[in-house]
Amino acid sequence: MDIQGGNRFFFTFEKEGFLSEEESHHLIRVLRKKVGERIKLIDGKGNEYEGEIVKIIKKGKKIKAKVRLLELLRKEKPSSVKIIALVPLLKGDKTEFLIEKGVELGINEFIPFQSDHSVAKISSKLDERLKIKAINALKQSGRLYLPEIKPPIILRNFLSENPFPSSLKIVALPEKGIFLEKLIEKLINSKEIVLISGPEGGFSKEEEKLLKEKNFIPLFLSPYILRAETASLSLMSFVSIFVNFYFG
């Protein structure tokens, strides 16, 4: 799986260590960087550094690059408003697409979910795929904080535990709900916002009832029928763009 993102590289060590095999491959085989050359590194915790390649190890087709942090180039402030997106499991790579776009938009946390009408099911490799997609989007977008991606959940079970009791919770539903201008009034005073829209088959009646019981505010996104990925992306886009501009 590809986790490349231009000329910024993701690392998980303290002051010196090895990049992942995927990052090392891109750095050495694709960009043809050499020992002693400078690169930009991000840790997903709000920091961007200048680094130096100090060692390259080749073993067959595998390659590892060891790098050293030199100086802090940029530091990003944590977001003053936390946006959590419950993202439906969708067919193909559509869930990965939503994670990628959500990272670019500034979403702080993702919770993939399987619902009663989901066609796609939870798989053992999903966590890895979504994390790789998030890292890729982080490097491309210029963000410095890597959003948290929670393990996939079964929506009905999750809602029964009454999550986010004090958050502003919004659900996109077809043909019902408040309009966007009414939602803005609620967003202004919120410090944690939870978003959810349904899978290809929509929510079941039982799930809609649970969402209502847990105080999710229904939002009317469009007079037209939206695909599941379009509804999720539209909801994330509107809320994140408003929050980013209003709260800075």
H or E element, residue 155: helix 155-160
**Which among 175, 181, 183 has a CA at the least distance from the CA of 217?**
183
Tell me the DSSP string of 171-184. EE-TT-SB-HHHHH
In a shared domain, residues 179 and 135: yes
Range of the domain at 175: 82-247
In a shared domain, residues 173 and 235: yes
pLDDT tens digits, one per residue of 45-65: 999 999 999 999 999 889 999
Question: Is residue 2 one of the residues assigned to a domain?
Answer: no
In a shared domain, residues 99 and 176: yes
**Which among 202, 207, 195 has a CA at the least distance from the CA of 227?**
202
Question: Is residue 1 one of the residues assigned to a domain?
Answer: no
> CA–CA separation, 196 vs 5, rounded Å?
28
In a shared domain, residues 211 and 92: yes
Mean pLDDT throughout 15-27?
95
Cα 46 to Cα 14, 27, 76, distances in angstroms: 14, 22, 5
**Which among 78, 96, 105, 77 has a CA at the least distance from the CA of 195?**
105
Q: Could you count the other beta carbons within 10 Å of the beta carbon of residue 224?
A: 7
Among 75, 97, 118, residue at a domain's last position? 75
In a shared domain, residues 86 and 115: yes
In a shared domain, residues 109 and 228: yes
Q: Residue 59 is part of a domain; what is its CATH number?
A: 2.40.240.20
Percent of residues, the chain, with pLDDT higher than 70: 97
In a shared domain, residues 183 and 102: yes
**Tokens linked to 99:** 């994670």
Mean per-residue pLDDT over the chain, rounded: 92
- How many folded domains does the chain comprise? 2
The reply to whether the predicted model has a pTM over 0.85 is yes
